[in-house]
Structure formats: C-alpha cells, structure tokens
Amino acid sequence: MMDLAWIEAALVSARPKAVGALLRHFRDLDTAEEAFQDASLRALKHWPLNGPPRDPTAWLIMVGRNVAIDGKRRQAREAPLPEEDRLSDLEDAESPMAERLDEADYRDDVLRLLFICCHPALTLAQQIPLALRIVSGVPVREIARAFLVGEAAMEQRITRAKARIAAAALPFETPGAVERAERLDAVATMVYLIFNEGYSAAGAERDRAALAGEAIRLARLLLRMFSNEPEIMGLAALLLLQHARTPARFDAEGAVILLEAQDRGLWNRSMIAEGLALIDKAMRHRAPAPYQVQAAIAALHARAARPEETDWAQIDLLYATLERMQPSPVVTLNRAVAVSRTRGAAAALEMVEPLGDRLSGYFPFHGLKGALLCELGRIDEARTAFGRAIALAGTVAEAAHIRMHLDSLTKNS
C-alpha cells in the first residue's frame, strides 16, 4: 500500500527537476507544464498499484515526454493514443534514462526554469507568482490568496507573464561558468524576495506567510545542486535562522514582538541547528558576501540563550561589513540598533538622523527613531516619530506594536 500523501509530496519534490527537463526537451513552458501534469495523474494511478519507481523524477520525465509526444502526434495525424499499458510500461526505460540524466543536467535545467521566472522582461509582481506556479507547483488559487487578488486576475497575470517569456529569447544552451554564476545570483535574489513576502506577512496573513516555507524549499533545492557555493549556503542559513523565530514574533492579538522580547523557547531549534551548520560550512570558504554576513548576524541572535547574552559588538562589526559590501540606508539603520546597545542611544540617534531624507517613508526608521528619542527622554519628539510610524505601518501588527509604545509614553508622562 502506498500513502497518497507520500505520492503527492514526491510529486511536489520532483517537480522542479522534471518540469525543468521537460522544458529543455519541448522548449515551451505550457507544453512542459502540461506534460508534467499528465505524468503526475498517471503516477497517482499507477504508483499505488505497482509501487513507486526507483527514481520518481526520471519516471515523471519519461512518462511526461511520451504523453506529450503522443498528444502532438495525435493532433497531427488524428491517430489514436497507444494503449495505456504500453505507454506506462517503464520498467526497462527507467534505468538508462536515470543514468543519462545526472545531477549536472538537472542543475542547469532547474536553474534555467528559475532564471526564466526572474526574466528581466517580467515585473516583480509577475516573477514571484510565476515561480511559485511553475517551479513550486502552488495552485493559482493559493497564489491569488497570498497576493490578495482574485483567482481570475492572478490566472491572467501568470498567463501574461508566460506570453512575455514566450516572446523573449530563452536561454536553452548550456550556460558557461560566468553565466551560470549570474543566473544563480538572480535566482538567489528571487528566492530571498519570495521569503520576504512570506516573512513580512507572518502572523497576519496565513496564505502569504506560507511563501516563507516555499522559499526555504527552493533554497535547499539550490543548495543541493550547488553544494559548494558559500553564498547559497548563506542564503539558506539566513532564511532558516529568520524563519525559526516566526512562532515567537507575534503576540495573541497579532502585534509584533521585537527580537529582544521574544520567548526564545518558541524558536524552532532544528531550523536553528540547520542554519548554524550551514553558516559554519559557508565560513570555511573565506569568501564573505551579503547573505553570509546577514546569516552570521542572525546566527549571533540565535546563539544567545538570553537577550543580554547577545554579542552586539560583533553584530555592529558585521553590519559595518555589510555596509561596505552593500551600502544602503536600511543597513545603516539596522547597524544603529547594534550601536544603541554598544555605544548608547545618543550615538545611535546620530547615525539614524542623517538617514531621514532617504527613509522618510520607511516605517522602521520612525519606529527606531521614536524608541531612541524615548530612551533619551525626548518624549514629545518620540511621540511625533511614533505617530509617523503608525501612519506608515504596512500591517496591523506593525501599527499595534507602535501604538503600544505610544500608550506607554502617555502612561509615563
């Protein structure tokens, strides 16, 4: 007997490699997707009877290819489909196929599939839904819910994205080393953005929050194929260490709980262990880059059993490194948090204030400024900053958190 849930999970996990290989074969996204869909239906019918194939991915590619080719032939000649049994008799076909498709093929296939989804002809609002649909196989209904649009509208967005891609020249040749690195870079950014969509929605919107888990799955997939890329280790570590804190990030009313006030007992220990192991592996390469540095910062938080044990001096240094690699007012703002712990609120405020021009529309800027002013006893100015923050809050949870600060100001003054 075979568990249906097992088959479904196996189909989801085989999907990126199988659709990627089918895309290389047919050079058309719709055909590749349909072929995988047909193969999946056959798997649901045959695997419970015959047991799962030794290599489910190779099975799905082979069956998908045969079904699609037969479909095309039928369209061309109106010839009947071959008998179902003949079509699915894969016992002999499976092993040579599995041998021919080694990990290196899969690697470029999956990378191409992901890379197509972050094609420059597409907007970000198209890229993420397309990747979720094509690579992860998330149903359109769920993607629509995650992005708070109707199913028909999301279907249309994805169809348009596919049409744009079909019109663009797609890279089907095997990439060279430089090109492969560029693709990997673009794909890593997309995975990071998918994670952020989910991370920022956690606590409030369940459907959107599930994107964080999808992003981790994609990061693990990349890591398995590019096992000696320290920046992919860094990316996966960063996502795992951040996601581990999710159960502690909101109170019962859904308001944000800041890192230092979180119940660390709620943090997911096995995700932390995995994240720490990955950052350890990455550091051995002595090739620091932004994801690794951010993961190292997250690791320092994860390693502190209590907030007082946080190594803020080291975090300050790491943010300074990140500022050099990737200068951005947001990075400086984050560094200011560490500075407020090591050198005090006045020093941190000095760092934060010049960012006002560029971050005037950024919620965390006013939140941090308010907190620092509050610490320095400048209550009226703090109130103004918190007021701005509330006006800019993107979620109810963010607004609720700032309101709590404001309430305590009123109580204490």
Partner 1 sequence: MLYAILCYDSEDVVWAWTKEEEAAAMARLGVVVEKLAKQGRLGPVARLLPTTSATTLRKGRDQLVIDGPFAETKEQLLGFYIVECTDLDQALETAKELAGASGTAGAFEIRPLAVFRPGGPVG
Residues that bind partner 1 (CB under 8 A): 5-6, 9-10, 12-13, 213, 217, 220, 223-224, 227-228, 233, 236, 270, 273-274, 277-278, 280-281, 284
**CA angle (145, 149, 154) in 5-degree steps:** 90
**Residue nearer to partner 1 on the CB measure, 13 or 196:** 13
**Residue nearer to partner 1 on the CB measure, 278 or 392:** 278
**Residue nearer to partner 1 on the CB measure, 43 or 122:** 43
Q: 336, 318, 341, 129: which is closest to 214 by C-alpha?
A: 129
Contacts (Cβ under 8 Å, ≥6 apart) of 352: 332, 333, 336, 365, 368, 369, 372
Q: How far is the CB of 341 from partner 1 (least distance, A)?
A: 25
**Residue nearer to partner 1 on the CB measure, 10 or 111:** 10
**Residue nearer to partner 1 on the CB measure, 16 or 367:** 16
**CA angle (198, 203, 207) in 5-degree steps:** 50
**Residue nearer to partner 1 on the CB measure, 45 or 269:** 269
**Residue nearer to partner 1 on the CB measure, 274 or 316:** 274
The full DSSP string for 168-225 is SPP--SPP-HHHHHHHHHHHHHHHHHHHHHHHHHTTT-HHHHHHHHHHHHHHHHHHHH
Q: How far is the CB of 343 from partner 1 (least distance, A)?
A: 29
The count of other CB atoms within 10 Å of the CB of residue 213 is: 15
Contacts (Cβ under 8 Å, ≥6 apart) of 112: 20, 23, 24, 170, 171, 172, 175, 183
What values do phi and psi take at 352, rounded to 5?
A: -80, -40
Q: How far is the CB of 223 from partner 1 (least distance, A)?
A: 5
CB 18 within 8 A of CB 60: yes
Q: How far is the CB of 205 from partner 1 (least distance, A)?
A: 18
Q: How far is the CB of 243 from partner 1 (least distance, A)?
A: 13
Q: How far is the CB of 110 from partner 1 (least distance, A)?
A: 13
What values do phi and psi take at 118, rounded to 5?
A: -105, 35
Q: How far is the CB of 271 from partner 1 (least distance, A)?
A: 10
305/224 Cα distance (integer angstroms): 30
CB neighbour class for 364 (10 Å; exposed up to 12, middle 13-18, buried from 19): middle
